[in-house]
Amino acid sequence: MAISKGREGDKPGEARKRALRRALQMLSYRSRSRQEIVADLAGRGCSTEIVEEVVSELEEKGLIGDAALAQDIVSGGQRAGKSRSRIYAVLRRRGISRETADEALEAHFDLDEECEAATREIRKMLPITSGPPGAEDLERAARRLSSRGFSAPAVARALKETASGAEAPGGFSFP
C-alpha cells in the first residue's frame, strides 16, 4: 500500500505519520543513510514534501546522519579486514555522497591496518611450505590482493613483510 495515498476517514497528517513510522522501523534494524530513507519512502509512494519533512525531522533528532554512518562503516570495514576501495564502494552503495565518503576515509582509514589485513590475506593464500614462497606465488598473491581492492602501498608492504620471514600463526614461517 502506498503511504501517501490517504485512506477514507484519514485525519490530516496520517500519511506523514505512516511515513515516519516506516522510517523509524527501518532505523530499528540498522543505521541508514539519508538516501536510503528517501529511496524507500519514495518507492512506497510518499510525496516529495512528506519525504523531506520526515527526513528533516530524523536529522534534527540525530537519528540519521551520513557523516556518522560513514565513520561507522569505515571503522567496521577496517575491523573486517576490507580494503579502502571496498569500503568506499560500500559507502557509495549505501547512498553516502562522494564528499562525505572521502572525508570519512581520510579521517578514519588507517593504512597500517590495511597493510596488516593484506599481510593476513597473503598468509592465507600462500601454500605452507618449509621453503620461501616463490616469485610466482608472490605475484599471484599480489594480483589477488589488487583485485580485492588493496592499495599498491599496502600490497607492497605486505609482500615485503611476507618475504622477509615474518612468523605465521601456528609456528609456520614464511621466508
pLDDT digits 0-9 by tens, 136-152: 888 888 999 999 999 99
- DSSP per-residue letters across 37-94: HHHHHHHTT--HHHHHHHHHHHHHTTS--HHHHHHHHHHHHHHTT--HHHHHHHHHHT
pTM of the entire predicted model = 0.76
7's CB contacts (< 8 A; 6+ apart) are: 14
21, three cell numbers: 513510522
The mean predicted confidence, pLDDT, of the chain is: 86
- Model confidence over 55-104: pLDDT tens digits? 999 999 999 999 999 999 999 999 999 999 999 999 999 999 999 999 99
Specify the DSSP class assigned to residue 108: H
Predicted local confidence at residue 9, as pLDDT: 52
Which stretch of 4-8, 105-109, 134-138, 140-144 has the lowest confidence by average pLDDT? Answer: 4-8
Predicted local confidence at residue 174, as pLDDT: 44
Taking residues 4-23, what's their average pLDDT?
A: 76
Regarding predicted confidence, which is higher, 32 or 124? Answer: 32
CA-closest candidate to residue 28, choices 60, 20, 72: 20
Predicted local confidence at residue 13, as pLDDT: 86
Question: Using CA atoms, how far apart are residues 98 and 53, in angstroms rounded to an integer?
Answer: 24
Asked if 37 and 54 touch (Cβ cutoff 8 Å), the reply is yes
